[in-house]
Structures are given as structure tokens and as C-alpha cells.
Structure 1
Amino acid sequence: MPDTTLARPDLTTFCRLDELGLVATGQRLEPERAVIECRLAEPDPWCRSCGAEATPRGTIARRLAHEPFGHRPTTLVLRVKRFSCATCSRFWQEDTTRVAEPRAKLTRGALSWALRALVVDRLTIARVAAGLDVAWHTANDAVIIEGRRRLIDDPARFDGVRVIGVDEHVWRHTRRGDKYVTVIIDLTPVRDGTGSSRLLDMIEGRSKQVFKTWLADRPNAWREGIEVVAMDGFTGFKTATAEELPTAIAVMDPFHVVRLAGEALDVCRRRVQHDIFGRRGRKDDPLYTARRTLHTGAGLLTERQQVRLDALFADENHVEVESTWGIYQRMVAAYREPNREVGKSLMQAVIDSLTDGVPTALVELRKLGRTLRQRAADILAFFDRPGTSNGPTEAINGRLEHLRGSALGFRNLANYIARSLLEAGGFRPLLHAQLR
């Protein structure tokens, strides 16, 4: 580009100091950091009490971490002027609240960079602290406070919620204290096809009362707008929904329904294994060898797997496993049916078949039948309301597991909740708009 005109470098603009009301006066490059000396672009030497012109009384240096440029962290040395008024004997120094909060160690530009790095770029707090050249706790406290102010405490993030999902989540794997929390997910974008699910809130504990209290704390208009609540088989969530959201439809999602049938199949297989051999399964036992094949959908079986199942069910000692496997496959087929009306009829037929006439020997199917009868309305409601699966809730749980692994675990639940909301709260578009 031979005709390109290049302007003289402007350190103030390049380092975005003008956005903070600063002007650069000098710089020093060190191996570990870049140090920029600066001052306020528009000093105010007038007394706020009497309006007289003040007398300069020297300066003080305030060191602040700024957003990094290149591979070096950037440190600002802000020269703050001090003044005195001969008329009213008042002393003060320049107002730097536009640059940073009082006693803060990070500029407002550094806070925006750190929040963007955490929410948009998914960096860890350790990487953020290294980029700013500050202590881990300094970066963590600053980002969480800024994240709450800009994003988490914004009441508008609850607007437009019509479909929610609720599930439990293990936030720590230690023996001390309660390790469970209840997570509430906004499934409205998934139902409407406008986006992905997002984390609405996280509450300590897992019980009916925990979820009921959270719902009761929401405004009446918000609760009246909730149309569907997707959940697992925990009756506490169902009862809390019925009491606090009487007009909402409870939907038991397919993942947990199929998991109930899968657990019944596993228990039946282990029981039959023990009845035949008097011990747990070993690698050469037919039932143990086929344990994963039994959970494969009938339409996805390979030729080798089909031969293995045919040989397994040819043994009359395995008839109870075959019966339980048949129910499991019928449930999977109902959910995979493209026509939802047909799928609903197939699932209704499964529930009806387990209502009466189940042999006493099939204890696992009898137990499964009782559960399906009690939650039949919630199970069948899924087929009338597409996009209300709790699957996105499980996906967010997976993201939180990754977050906890990146952080090498959390000990403070308040920090975990704040970090989880910043990670999975759907704030990336909002943050992009704020920092544009």
C-alpha cells in the first residue's frame, strides 16, 4: 500500500487512556510490563466550596493495573495533583473516579478487559491475573464485583422467561458440608428456536423447600408468565411447581425417563446374574458381556451386537432380562418417533402395559410401572410441548463441571455461583453490546 498515510503514534489513544479522561506523559518498557505515566486531561483547580482558584500543593502517584497490550501487562502511574484553597482553608486532590474506584488497584478499562476475558474468551482467573500483573485474589474480587454490577444484578435478565428447567448439581466432591445445589435454567430460547439455554440462578441445597422458596421470591407477574417447567423425577420439584406455579405445566424430560428404564434393566441383569451364578458378573459371562449392548437402541445395533443379543435371549434363564429390555426399547422408540402424536400413543401403551398384569418375578418392571403411573401426565406432556426437554440443563451442568475443573475446584459457594452465572448465564451478547 504505497499511498497509505500513517499518523504519528498517539500513546494516549492507542492505550485507550482518552476513554478514562487521561493523557499519557511518558512510558517505560520493562521485561515484565509496560509502565505509562499519565495525568488527567482536564485538571480542575477550582475550589468546590467557594469557587476560588486553588494553589497547587504537589502530586501523588497512584499505580493502577490497566488492560494489557501485546504480551506485556500495562501499569499506569497516575500523577494526581493536590490543591489547597487559601480562602476557605480546604485541601483536596483531583477526582479520579472516572479512572478507577477509590482504593481500587485496577482501572475501569482493566475491569472491562478482565470481564470480557472471563465471559467471552473463557479465560481462567489465573490467566486474567497474569495478564493484569496482579494477585489472584485481586483479580477474582474485582471481576466478581464488576460482573455482579453489570450483569448478574441486572433485573432485566429475568425478562421474557416462559419455560424453565430445574435440576440438582454437585458443586464439590468433598465430605464437608452440603455438596448439592439446585440450578434453574431458562429454556425459552430453546423452545422458541431463538438461541441456547442459559443459567438463571443457582441455590444452595436440593429440596422442595429450596425450589419453592426461590419461586416464592419471584414477582407475581413473572410467576404467572411461566408456562412449562422441565424437571427430573424428583417429586420435590414437582410439588413445589404445583404449589407456586399452579398454571404451569410440569414436564418430565426424556433423559430421566429413559434413565429410569435403563436403571431397571441394569438392576434386573445383575439380579439374574446373581441368581444363576451366585456372584457378580465376570468378563466371560454372557450377561456381563452384553451390558452395554443392552442399552443400545434396537435400530442402531450392528450385526455382531444383534447376534450377541439373539444368543443371550435364547437362554430361557434370561427371559426376565429380555422382558425388561423390551420395555426399555419401546420407551426409546417412543421418544425417537418423528410423529409426536404417534410417539405419545406408543408411550401411553408402555405405561398401560406396566399398570396391570406384570408378573411378580419382574420386580424391576413393577417398580418402574408405579413410577410411570404416578408421573404419567408429566411424561406424556413432553410430546405436546416440543423444546421442553431438560437436556439443555444437563448440558449446562457439563459446562459447570468444566468450569470447576479449570478452577481446580471451589471452596466458596458464593464465588462458585457468581462464576457459574458469568460462565453460563448467557451474558456474552449483552457484554458485547456494553463494550462496543
Structure 2
Amino acid sequence: MDEHVWKHTRKPGQPSNLVTILVDLTPLVDGRGPARLLDIRPGRSADVLRTWLQERDPGFREQVQVVTMDGFTGYASAVDQVLPGATKVMDPFHVVHLAADKLTGCRQRLQRETTGRRGRKDDPLYKHRRTLLTRTDYLTERQKQRLDMLWATDDDYVALEVTWMFYQDVIQAYGHPKKSEGKKLMDRIINTLRKGLPKGLEELAQLGRTLWRRREDVLAYFDIGASNGPVEAINGRLEHLRGIALGFRNLNHYILRSLIHSGQIHNRINAL
């Protein structure tokens, strides 16, 4: 499951613009075909997901073994209440994205503290913002030199360097060829952040609290291997559908078109 913005307006954060999409990964797991869109429900909350699950018959709920999701606590609590026997998996993409957000937040905070303003094109922190988010394996020699110069330039950037190192460690854990070793690395990261951090690492402390709270869901990925990748793929297909239609105003119409487009219903329609 994942959130989806079905209508872009001047106020994209409005609840009326968000929906919850639910995707069946079973065809992909069984090798019968791609994942399929099951349903779309207005809103993004624990109540939305809880209501949808409670509307399914008991046989359906008993067959759900794994639920992949992002870091939204509402989805996790709804699954715990209605599907206590299912295993929750926090998607790797969202864990890495969460760490990247904390890294960006730390960079922006230090930018304000050291200059008293937002970043400009010649400011070191702003100029290297994309390099900071690049995986170390993909850094060029020039980019590595830039980072080395950044760390050696000013002691005010120590907090950013430490946050950057943990961000890279998270990426390395997911990228390890052996999932058992990757799980050990991720568990070590979570426990290290849990033990306490010096003052000045506020963003990293926030990341540690989130990972500790969802540690079972984060570590479950290394045992099961399921992710929200197929869900993100369908999310992208829906974005494309909205684009070629030049937008939608009626949510019911949008849901119907989405199910035809990504719910594998078009094959049955064409068969008629």
C-alpha cells in the first residue's frame, strides 16, 4: 500500500487530494504476471486502511501474509489491529529516503546557522547538495575530492559528516549481496543510534527514534525480500494516466479508470 496524489492543486497537502492505493503482489510472487491494483480509497489514515480491511471477508484477511508499506505509522497500526498475523515490511526505498531527508535537513540547518540565510549557488553546502546524496560507489574522483575538501574546510560541518556517514551505511546495508549480513549491518545502525548521540545531531537522533520504533518492520525486509517497488511502479502508471487525461476532477471516475488501467481489468473488457 502507498499514498497517491490523485489531483494536483495549489494546496497539494490537502487531505482531499490524497488517496490510499492497495496493490496485490501475489501474481508477481507466483510468477503469473505483474502486480495489480486492487482498490483506491479516499484519504490517507489508519481509519481508511482499517475500514477497507474490515470490509473484506475473513477468508481474504487470513490469506494476507506480508504487507509492504512506507513509514506512515497509520498504516502500520491498522495492519496490527486487523491483520495481527501478517508480517509488516517497511520498504527499503522509504527507509533510505527518510535518511536522505534527515541528511538534507541537517545540511539546511547548518547552512542557516553558519550563514544566517538559505543556500546560494556559491555556498559549499548548497553547491554539493546532490553529491551528498550520491551513493559512495557512484561518486567520481572529483566528487570525492569535493567531499574531502568540505569535511576539512570547517569544523561546523562535523554534524553533517556524521549524518552523511550513517546515510551511506543505510545504503550499504540494503546493497549488501548477502541479506543476512545486510540485516546485521542495519541492526547495528539501529542499535548505535538508539544508544544516544551527542548534541548537535538532532536530525540523526530523529532518524534513530523512527528506526527503533519500526525496527521489526525494517529488518523484516532482509528475511522476506518483499518491497514496495511494484507499488511504486503502479503509482507511476497512475501518474502517467492522469497526465494523458489532462487531469481528473471526479474521484470515482479516476478510480474506475485507474482500475481498468492498472487492475488487469482491461484484458477482461477486451475479451468481451
When normalised by structure 1's length, the TM-score is 0.60
Q: Secondary structure at the match of 2:21?
A: strand
Distance 1:177 1:272, change over 3 A: closer
Q: Is the 8 A contact 2:27 2:33 kept in 1?
A: yes
Alignment of 1:152-231 (within 5 A): 166-174=1-9, 175=11, 178-231=16-69
Deviation sequence 1:262-292 (CA, Å, 0-9, x none): 0000000011111111111111111111100
The residue aligned with 2:70 is 232
Unaligned regions of 5+ residues in structure 2, if any?
Answer: none
Q: Secondary structure at the match of 1:309?
A: helix
Deviation sequence 1:292-351 (CA, Å, 0-9, x none): 011111111111111111111112221111000000000000111111101100100110
User: Once the two structures are aligned, what percentage of the paired residues are identical?
Assistant: 54
- Indicate whether 1:362 and 2:182 are aligned: no
Match of 1:284 among 94, 105, 122: 122
What's the CA shift for 1:195? 2.5
Give the whole-Å Cα distance in 2 for the aligned partners of 1:184 and 1:415.
17
Alignment of 1:290-329 (within 5 A): 290-315=128-153, 316-329=155-168
What's the CA shift for 1:431? 4.8
Match of 1:274 among 96, 112, 120: 112
Q: Secondary structure at the match of 1:354?
A: helix
Alignment of 1:8-407 (within 5 A): 166-174=1-9, 175=11, 178-315=16-153, 316-386=155-225, 388-407=226-245
Matched residue type, 1:323: V
Deviation sequence 1:43-85 (CA, Å, 0-9, x none): xxxxxxxxxxxxxxxxxxxxxxxxxxxxxxxxxxxxxxxxxxx
Give the whole-Å Cα distance in 2 for the aligned partners of 1:328 and 1:355.
15
Unaligned regions of 5+ residues in structure 1, if any?
Answer: 1-165
Matched residue type, 1:425: G
What's the CA shift for 1:428? 4.8
What's the CA shift for 1:405? 1.0
Give the whole-Å Cα distance in 2 for the aligned partners of 1:301 and 1:192.
37
Give the whole-Å Cα distance in 2 for the aligned partners of 1:345 and 1:295.
23
Matched residue type, 1:327: F
Q: Secondary structure at the match of 1:361?
A: coil
Across the aligned residues of Structure 1 and Structure 2, the Cα RMSD in angstroms comes to 1.4
Give the whole-Å Cα distance in 2 for the aligned partners of 1:317 and 1:205.
42
Give the whole-Å Cα distance in 1 for the aligned partners of 2:96 and 2:170.
7
Q: Is the 8 A contact 2:37 2:234 kept in 1?
A: yes
Deviation sequence 1:128-177 (CA, Å, 0-9, x none): xxxxxxxxxxxxxxxxxxxxxxxxxxxxxxxxxxxxxx111111123587
Comparing both chains, which one has the higher relative contact order based on Cα–Cα distances under 8 Å and sequence gaps of 6 or more?
A: 2
Give the whole-Å Cα distance in 1 for the aligned partners of 2:15 and 2:205.
36
Q: Secondary structure at the match of 2:100?
A: helix
Bigger mean CA offset, 348-357 vs 325-334: 348-357
What's the CA shift for 1:411? 0.8
What's the CA shift for 1:430? 4.2
Q: Secondary structure at the match of 2:264?
A: coil
Deviation sequence 1:79-129 (CA, Å, 0-9, x none): xxxxxxxxxxxxxxxxxxxxxxxxxxxxxxxxxxxxxxxxxxxxxxxxxxx
